[in-house]
A = this chain, B = another copy of it.
Amino acid sequence: MEIIKSIHDMQSKMMQWKQSGKSIGFVPTMGYLHEGHQQLMKKARQENDIVVTSIFVNPLQFGPDEDYERYPRDEVHDTDIAKKEQVDILFYPHVNEMYPKDQTIRMTVHQRVDVLCGKSRPGHFDGVVTILAKLFNIVYPDYVYLGLKDAQQVAVVDALIQDYNFPIKLRPIATVREQDGLAKSSRNVNLSDQERIEAPYIYQALLHGQKLMQAGEQDAEVIIKEVSHFIHTHTHGKIDYVDLLSYPELERVNHINEQVILAVAVYFKHARLIDNVVLDQQGSFATAIV
């Protein structure tokens, strides 16, 4: 595995691969790699000649109250993980390399952002699309791998690729789960023993909503209420949101007649957990996603 820190070196390297007709799979990350990232790398490895991972903690996507400085970093661990997953090139730029000065030209996201987790993180996705537009122009990927755990991010990156005609295919990868269905997350270690027993009911609640849709329920409000009730009944968590929106547009739907996302965020004492399912009109798990 080669570690590259300069944009210039990266671009000349990648252009060589591109010109030799190799397919390039790209896994952009902020480091502190875990099993979710590894899943993306494995998928990229299966589907491409060349796998590139980037590690860059992007200051632009942190809000003023979010602690960019304290975001965890572990270069040795991350390098080991990337090697283990047979990544070919690890792009690991310094912040001054990516942002030598303030951007003269800014990107801002005007749809798909004022809902779900984006609602409480104004400007977050502006930072996400800015860094990804830059990385796409440095890595020249054919395929980009993102986890569906953050389905809103997938929806926004879908818009970036469409709006700016990037010659890239987005590959959203299914959320990795524990045996009992709990979505894997580095935050799960912050759950108490009792909370860890209750947490799988979040996914059960989503599946309950799915069953309602499969049984013919088409009223979004009814499903949202039922899912919320299910979580209240089976956990001591405090619901941040339960929502059902069109996907990937993330617009409000009343009568369900298109692909939707059913998404939840629940506060436990020391962990906020999120989860979602993307479903077609009949309530089956969506296969195409974007």
Contacts and interface: CB of A to CB of B under 8 A. Distances in A.
| Number of copies of this chain that the complex holds | 2
A164 B105 contact: yes
Interface string A220-256: 0000000000000000000000000000000000000
A7 interface: yes
Interface stretch (A15-23, A176-184, A261-269, A270-278): A15-23
A105 B163 contact: yes
Nearest to A108: B106
Contacts of A107: 105-107
A137 B166 CA distance: 5
Interface of A: 7, 11, 15, 18-21, 103-112, 129, 133-134, 137-138, 156, 159-160, 162-167
29 contacts: A7-B165, A11-B165, A11-B167, A15-B167, A18-B18, A19-B19, A19-B20, A19-B21, A103-B163, A104-B110, A104-B112, A104-B156, A104-B159, A104-B162, A105-B109, A105-B129, A105-B156, A105-B159, A105-B160, A105-B163, A105-B164, A106-B108, A108-B108, A133-B164, A134-B163, A134-B164, A137-B165, A137-B166, A137-B167
Given A7-B165, A104-B109, A137-B165, 15 more contacts: A11-B165, A11-B167, A15-B167, A18-B19, A19-B20, A104-B112, A104-B156, A104-B159, A104-B163, A105-B163, A105-B164, A106-B108, A108-B108, A133-B133, A137-B164
